[in-house]
Chains A and B, each alone.
Chain A
Amino acid sequence: QKEVEQNSGPLSVPEGAIASLNCTYSDRVSQSFFWYRQYSGKSPELIMSIYSNGDKEDGRFTAQLNKASQYVSLLIRDSQPSDSATYLCAVNVYGGSQGNLIFGKGTKLSVKP
């Protein structure tokens, strides 16, 4: 059973701090990794994708991938109350159809003013 594991939280950080969200996956041959943000009552929206080991930065967001450890993380710098949401980690199913992603249950982030 291919799985994606996330700490459900809630993770609470003060405004302006760095929020660190972590994710592990079981399928060693996975190639594509994604972070989605889901506000309460809304559908998930893509934040970042990452395919290679190392860091990928986009504004206040940095995704980190370590395939050897089967670990992917998302750092949010200068956290804002508007970042309060559930963050979903997703991993592709190697050999599966395009668009077949396995999602974690998400980590709920709360940024306190």
Chain B
Amino acid sequence: SAVISQKPSRDICQRGTSLTIQCQVDSQVTMMFWYRQQPGQSLTLIATANQGSEATYESGFVIDKFPISRPNLTFSTLTVSNMSPEDSSIYLCSVAPQGDTIYFGEGSWLTVV
């Protein structure tokens, strides 16, 4: 497995603002994944982040709304832009150090008011 740290762990944000979530892994990994878990819903993959290339977004998610950076093999950021109450969710950074088994970070609980 891997140790995955996320910041912030929780935040309350004003609508219309943007927030950047940081994810740090204790070992080098090729791909990092950003998931979202809306209240009462299942986890949904937002995008896959590879170092040195643009992130690959899943259907329903766009770069303008969720820009992602991946400057090196242990770090990534996800920005939630122009937030609305519908963006209130848990945002989870994850990695798959071996095969397709993924491990999650502690999560970032965002509430948009």
Contact = CB atoms under 8 A, between A and B. Distances in A.
B40 A105 contact: yes
B96 A98 contact: yes
B42 A49 contact: no
Q: Which applies to chain B's interface (DSSP): helix, strand, loop or mixed?
A: strand
B25 interface: no
Contact of B43 (A32, A44, A45, A97): A44
A87 interface: no
Given A105-B41, A105-B42, A99 B94 contact: yes
Contacts of A42: 106-107
Interface string B60-82: 00000000000000000000000
A contact residues, range: 20 to 34
Given A92-B100, A97-B31, A98-B96, A4 B42 contact: yes
A99 B42 contact: no
A19 interface: no
B101 interface: yes
Interface of B: 1, 31, 33, 40-45, 48, 56, 58, 90, 92, 94-96, 99-107
